[in-house]
Amino acid sequence: MFKKKIWKMLLSFTHGIKRYFLISILAAAASSLMSFLTPIIVGFTVDNVIGGGAQSSLPGPIMSLYNFLSSRGIFGSKLAICAIFAALCAIIAGSFNYLSRTNMAKGSESMINNLRIKLFKHTQSLPFEWHSKNQTGDIIQRCTSDVETTRRFVFQQLIEVLRTVIMLVMVMIIMFTLNPIMALVVTVFLPIIMLYTVFFFKRVADKFLECDEAEGELMVRVQENLTGVRVVRAFGREKYETERFDEKNVAFTKKWLSLGGTYGQFWGISDSVSAMQLLCVIVTGSLLAARGTLSFGELLVFISYTQMVAWPVRQLGRVLSEMSKTGVSLGRINEILEAPGETDPPDALEPPMDRDIEFKDVSFSYDVETDQQVLKNVSFTIKNGTTFGILGSTGSGKSSITYLLNRLYEIGANSGAITIGGINIQQINRKYLRKNIGLVLQEPFLFSKTILENIDIASHGQDLGKVREKAAIAAVDDNIMSFSKGYETIVGERGVTLSGGQKQRVAIARTLMMNAPVMVFDDSMSSLDMETDAKIREALRIDTAQATVILISHRISTLMKADKIMVLDEGRVAEIGTHQELIDKNGIYRRVYDLQSGIDDER
Amino acid sequence: MNYEEEKIKGLSLTIWLRLLKYFKGLKKQILKAFIVILAATGGSAAYPLFIRYAVSNFVVPGTTKGIVPFTAVCFGFILIVGVCIYFWTKLLMGLEMNLSMIIRRDCFVHLQKLQLAYHNVNSVGYLIGRVMSDTERISSMISWGFSGLVESILFLFFSITFMLILSPKLAIILIIVIPAAGIIAWIFQRKIIVISRRVRELNSKITGSYNEGITGSKTSKTLVIEDLNSAEFSTLSNNMRRESIRSSRLNALMMPMVMSLGSIALSIVLYRGGTLVGKQLLDFGIISAFVTYAVSTIEPIVWVSGVISEMVSAQVGIERVTGLLNEPITIVDLPEVIKKYGDTFDPKRENWEPVLGGVSFENVWFKYPDGDEYVLEDFSLDIPSGTTVAIVGETGAGKSTIVNLACRFYEPTEGRVLIDGRDSRERSQLWLHSSLGYVLQDPHLFSGTIIDNIRYGRLDATDEEVMAAASLVSADTIATRLPDGFSSDVGEGGDNLSTGEKQLVSFARAVLADPPIFVLDEATSSIDTETERLIQNAISHMLKGRTSFIIAHRLSTIVRSDLILVVEDGKIVERGTHKELLAAGGHYSSLYKAMRLEEIMQ
């Protein structure tokens, strides 16, 4: 049914919770047994107590109990004993049923919980490269709807199949012991019903797919219309759009209508087959009873059993036909889990990080196949405690330098090395490395939490004073205080939307909270005006006096006070030196500087 | 994301009555469905009577006389019920689908009429939820929920009637048990609904967490907070586990409890019935029928309570859909305007004056519906036909306001916007919109072929005209690259094309429309130099002889335009030609310098 490795994966999530499944199945068996007993008691009552004959009997121990009670006359009449037996039977069956279902819920929910958490942790540990290669929507879909499919499979299908099978086996044994001919009549119909169900759901699966597709097309129409509402309005295409919508709306409806007929057939036929089964049981029973080989009570037993098995058998057919769908989902989940996450060898180093950083002949390309190098033999040294500026245009490789330094991407073999205090960063524990490099990304991501929690996220539990201090350095404290909820303001989807500049400043404050010996600002002030930029830099200079600071920008004013400035051009180091040296050099830096200070001729 | 936090209310008739108008058109179908349900349910409820007949006439007397006609009758009966069930399913499916089709259409049409201000504040996801899932939920609730309700109630009614006919003394036992079981089931169902709502909320939070964990993975890694994220997620996930188990536990408790009640009823029937048979007051057949009834009446009770509590929760969906349908349209054409020019869905083009393209703002005051500050205060500006107006300013400064007003996507709070000298409210929206060419920074294409997308500009254009428009703006280069040429599918939202290519197609679309007024939101995103050159060409082609509004990001466009408006914090702070503004040495000149710098860097 499924591949072996998928079963193995599923099984790995049942660690420590297998007992729930075991209890659930045992209880289900007990419950079925008890509920099969009730009709027997009813039949016995009808035959022996009400009818006064002695054609049928109860299973051994219950019969002895009955004889014991009736001989002592404990509950009054024999009829009363039987009635109490029947009621007790049902109540015990119900209790076992409850036990079975709650354990099943515990087992499957725990298992899915394990799966969810494992998936989340794994996506967190997967290298950034994996994230950038896979589409977010697809990953989320796997983590949510495929997990839901799995949950349904475990919760409703896997256990249900086992229960139904156990139940069927038991009822068969009981029926064949009671009366083989009647048992045969009941049994003959079971494969018919089941096969018909499997056949039907296999058949409608295709139609369902068509319906899903039609719904998808309709959905796309609606979505495109709504996202393109400006285009629709600007061209005055409301009527045209409505016609196009109608087309898909009707097509979708028609698909379902045809499915309605198919479903009608299924329910009509399968209900009729079940009723036929009952009719056959009644007729055969009557014939046998007339011959005297079947008692009235036994007939009642068979009628009850027929009704009891009809529904589960139909369910079984349905479940079997849905299994292939689950297999696909499980496979997709397994693909994520199989992708190797970031792991550090146990002997990974944690050296002091307040040392010189050196890029030695580093070359890098994101795509090994096309080998389009974004960095070409880049070498430079950043002295500990100094400020290092990197100037470069879009696509010059500025950000790649930070990614490599932070090991978001790894340098390939024979493509150079980055060292800190002489130690290759590939030997350093990743988390340790990243904790010690405070990196502010170009497009920072804020979590949908309060601003306080966002700033404090990497420093865990600092007080508001500390947070405000850093926010003030990032020149965002005033902004935050102007919100009605101040630092308790929730950002993101459920809260306020911050502007690009506000986001950048919150991200700066967040990174400052890390107090890392190395700080990298990757174009982190691009959305800010020059004044704010200058203000932040001044405050930073004091706050990060001890730290090594790497500033990346295409604004000269951001960089000119750095101890050393490197100009990147198409992945190569074009110029490197102090502000004055570069000015004197009369190269790219000088050109940009002239423009910045307004010496440029205004054409 | 939408967190449902609605309180559980009682079943409210008024909410359901809002849907009344939809039922009116479906009267016939509803009646047919009702008849079929009546027949099928009555038939199923009569099955135990067969058992009784067989027992009384064959089993007890020990004869097989008459068993053949009995079998034949039963057989026929079963077939009839089967056919009824077939029609029942088919009719209800039809009812459900037709209902949702009509409601969905109403929602869609209403959305076409609603002003952009509404679209701006309601996310596409939210609106899709209303149009697609809420309508589906409502109609499935109405058809299947109601039919289940009708079926169950009918089944109970028939069963009780048959039982009363067979033996009132035994029937009374079940008649007492039924409401008791109903109450238990109802209590549980209410609790289950509350919990399942909580589970749904948790579920959407979990989805949100995955979303954040995955989209924020780069940030998480740089801050080394993967463990924190995982710990938070574990808490959430554990909550989900706990609540799900709770909800299952309630379900697991309800069924056995209600079923046990049924079994207790069965025992009492057995006891009372047995006693009565002993006194020769009852025959065996009746006992057998009652045994079946005791078992089969329980399920409908659970059903009824389930459906009613489901209906309570479906009310939320109805409220949301009717809320959308009742959302007032704020930009409407006056009745006399519609009379002359027709409305959006039924235009009277023969009465339309040609649009020349002169746009004037006359003492315009404007604030956005969701804002409380005026962004335009007593703004006046005359733009003669054929003028190129560039609007510059930082991202998010509010450059679109002028365009929104000129296109009548919004109407001024005070003052007037004139098109060719007449208040734009004196003509229909479609009249103006049909004269616009609109090119967005993030070009929106519809799925379909390139031809389809260009033709969106003018629906009756021939293929030749489409291709001519395409070649005018070099969009034909895209076609040559693709295997199916102009008939290539652009994919959902045009995603098979690059941003630059999408832009070219949207230029061609606007060129084909040949509009007197042009709106262009230039792209800032980095496009390769070759495409960039093509786009520049395209733009200069299009602007010739047209009134155009350009939200400009490129220096060359700005410098060449007739009038430059500088926007800051939503307000127009400077206006004039390039030379004038540069000489003034204000916002524009510093903006210009910054932009020059960027250009050099790239």
Q: With CB atoms and an 8 Å threshold, state whether A290 touches B219.
A: no
Q: With CB atoms and an 8 Å threshold, state whether B108 touches A271.
A: no
Domain membership flag for residue B154: yes
Q: What percent of chain A has pLDDT over 70?
A: 94
Q: With CB atoms and an 8 Å threshold, state whether B219 touches A444.
A: yes
Q: With CB atoms and an 8 Å threshold, state whether A105 touches B444.
A: no
* Cα-Cα-Cα-Cα dihedral sign, residues A150, A154, A156, A161: positive
Q: Is A459 in the same domain as A406? A: no
CA-based end-to-end distance of chain B: 39
The reported pLDDT for the residue numbered B528 is 58
Domain membership flag for residue B564: no
Q: With CB atoms and an 8 Å threshold, state whether B216 touches A445.
A: yes
- Give the gap in angstroms from C-alpha B253 to the nearest C-alpha of chain A: 6
Instruction: Tell me the chain B residues in contact with residue A278 when contact means C-beta distances shorter than 8 Å.
Output: 47
Inter-chain Cβ pairs, chain A and chain B, closer than 8 A: 416
Q: Judging by DSSP bridges, how do beta strands A437-440 and A518-522 pair with one another?
A: parallel
Q: Is A27 in the same domain as A103? A: yes
Q: Is A3 in the same domain as A126? A: yes
Q: Is A511 in the same domain as A557? A: no
The kind and range of the H/E element at B378 are strand B376-383
- Give the gap in angstroms from C-alpha A449 to the nearest C-alpha of chain B: 11
Instruction: Tell me the chain A residues in contact with residue B267 when contact means C-beta distances shorter than 8 Å.
Output: 83-84, 86-87, 90
Q: With CB atoms and an 8 Å threshold, state whether A234 touches B226.
A: no
Q: With CB atoms and an 8 Å threshold, state whether B78 touches A279.
A: yes
How many Cβ atoms are within 10 Å of B575's Cβ, its own excluded? Answer: 17
Please state, in angstroms and as integers, the Cα–Cα distance from residue A364 to each residue in A275, A427, B222, B557, following that order.
73, 19, 20, 37
Instruction: Tell me the chain B residues in contact with residue A447 when contact means C-beta distances shorter than 8 Å.
Output: 212, 216
Model confidence pLDDT, tens digit, residues B319-336: 888 888 888 988 888 888
Q: Is A335 in the same domain as A381? A: no
**Residue where a domain terminates, one of B307, B325, B343:** B325
Model confidence pLDDT, tens digit, residues A165-180: 888 898 889 899 888 9
**Residue in chain A nearest B343 by alpha carbon:** A239
The answer on pLDDT for A602 being more than 50 is no
- Give the gap in angstroms from C-alpha A559 to the nearest C-alpha of chain B: 15
Confidence band of A394 (pLDDT split at 50, 70, 90): low
Q: Is B280 in the same domain as B146? A: yes
- What gap in Å lies between CA A371 and CA A364, rounded to an integer? 9
The reported pLDDT for the residue numbered B524 is 53
Domain membership flag for residue B109: yes
DSSP A155: I
Q: Is A104 in the same domain as A163? A: yes
- What gap in Å lies between CA B601 and CA A442, rounded to an integer? 17
Q: With CB atoms and an 8 Å threshold, state whether A272 touches B82.
A: yes
Which value, to the nearest 10 degrees, does the dihedral of the CA atoms of residues B183, B184, B186, B189 take?
A: 180
Domain membership flag for residue B202: yes
- What gap in Å lies between CA B303 and CA A498, rounded to an integer? 49
**Residue where a domain terminates, one of B267, B291, B325:** B325
- Give the gap in angstroms from C-alpha B559 to the nearest C-alpha of chain A: 10
DSSP B507-563: HHHHHHH--SEEEEE---S---HHHHHHHHHHHHHHHTTSEEEEE---HHHHHHSSE
- Give the gap in angstroms from C-alpha A82 to the nearest C-alpha of chain B: 8
Sheet with strand A423-424: strands edge to edge? A373-382, A357-365, A417-420, A423-424
Confidence band of B529 (pLDDT split at 50, 70, 90): low
CATH number of the domain bearing residue B453: 3.40.50.300
CATH number of the domain bearing residue A404: 3.40.50.300
Residue type, A590: R
Which value, to the nearest 10 degrees, does the dihedral of the CA atoms of residues A414, A418, A419, A420 take?
A: -170
- Give the gap in angstroms from C-alpha A69 to the nearest C-alpha of chain B: 16
Residue among B223, B241, B407 minimizing CB distance to A234:
B407
The reported pLDDT for the residue numbered A20 is 92
- Give the gap in angstroms from C-alpha B505 to the nearest C-alpha of chain A: 13
pTM score over 0.80: no
Q: Is A412 in the same domain as A529? A: yes
Residue-number span of the structural domain to which B445 is assigned: 439-514
The reported pLDDT for the residue numbered B241 is 93
Q: Is B110 in the same domain as B251? A: yes
Phi and psi, residue B347, nearest 5°: -75, 150
How many structural domains comprise chain B? 2
Residue-number span of the structural domain to which A229 is assigned: 180-293
Radius of gyration in angstroms for the set of CA atoms belonging to chain B, rounded to a whole number? 35
Please state, in angstroms and as integers, the Cα–Cα distance from residue A256 to each residue in A213, A261, A269, B132, B177, following that order.
11, 9, 20, 15, 40
The answer on pLDDT for B590 being more than 60 is yes
Instruction: Tell me the chain B residues in contact with residue A87 when contact means C-beta distances shorter than 8 Å.
Output: 260, 263-264, 266-267
**Residue in chain A nearest B460 by alpha carbon:** A240
Domain membership flag for residue A546: no
Q: With CB atoms and an 8 Å threshold, state whether B273 touches A50.
A: yes
How many Cβ atoms are within 10 Å of B595's Cβ, its own excluded? Answer: 16
Model confidence pLDDT, tens digit, residues A518-538: 999 988 776 676 677 788 888
Instruction: Tell me the chain A residues in contact with residue B67 when contact means C-beta distances shorter than 8 Å.
Output: 283, 286-287
Among the listed ranges A235-249, A353-367, B525-539, which one has the minimum average pLDDT value? B525-539
Mean pLDDT of chain A: 85
Q: Is A453 in the same domain as A594? A: no
Q: Judging by DSSP bridges, how do beta strands A423-424 and A417-420 pair with one another?
A: antiparallel
Model confidence pLDDT, tens digit, residues B499-513: 778 888 888 888 888
Q: Is B140 in the same domain as B289? A: yes
Instruction: Tell me the chain A residues in contact with residue B285 when contact means C-beta distances shorter than 8 Å.
Output: none
Backbone dihedral region for residue A460 (phi beyond 0: left; psi -120 to 50: alpha; all else: beta): left
Q: What number is the average pLDDT over the span A379-405?
A: 87
**Residue where a domain terminates, one of B310, B325, B340:** B325
Helix (H, G, I), strand (E, B) or coil at A31: helix
Q: Select from B221, B255, B424, B490 the residue whose CB has the most chain A CBs within 10 Å, as the one to mutate to test that interface.
A: B221
- What gap in Å lies between CA A83 and CA A38, rounded to an integer? 10
Residue type, B388: T
Residue among B59, B209, B237 minimizing CB distance to A113:
B237
Q: With CB atoms and an 8 Å threshold, state whether B89 touches A282.
A: no
- Contacts of A552 by beta carbon, 8 Å cutoff, 6+ apart: A389, A390, A392, A398, A399, A401, A402, A520, A521, A522, A523
Residue among B214, B407, B602 minimizing CB distance to A139:
B214
- Give the gap in angstroms from C-alpha B32 to the nearest C-alpha of chain A: 15
Helix (H, G, I), strand (E, B) or coil at A492: coil
Contact A281, A185 (CB under 8 A): yes
- Give the gap in angstroms from C-alpha A206 to the nearest C-alpha of chain B: 18
Q: With CB atoms and an 8 Å threshold, state whether A268 touches B86.
A: yes
Q: With CB atoms and an 8 Å threshold, state whether B81 touches A42.
A: no
Question: Which one of A194-198, B452-456, B486-490 scores highest in mean pLDDT?
Answer: B452-456
Helix (H, G, I), strand (E, B) or coil at B7: coil
The reported pLDDT for the residue numbered B177 is 82
- What gap in Å lies between CA A259 and CA A266, rounded to an integer? 10
Q: With CB atoms and an 8 Å threshold, state whether B119 touches A226.
A: yes
Burial of B280 (0-12, 13-18, 19+ CB in 10 A): exposed
CATH number of the domain bearing residue B245: 1.20.1560.10
Q: Is A329 in the same domain as A387? A: no
Q: Is A122 in the same domain as A150? A: yes
For residue A295, how many C-alpha atoms fall within 13 Å in the half-sphere facing its CB? 21
Contact A434, A420 (CB under 8 A): no
B383 forms bridges with which residues in the sheet? B359
**Residue in chain B nearest A98 by alpha carbon:** B252
CATH number of the domain bearing residue A137: 1.20.1560.10
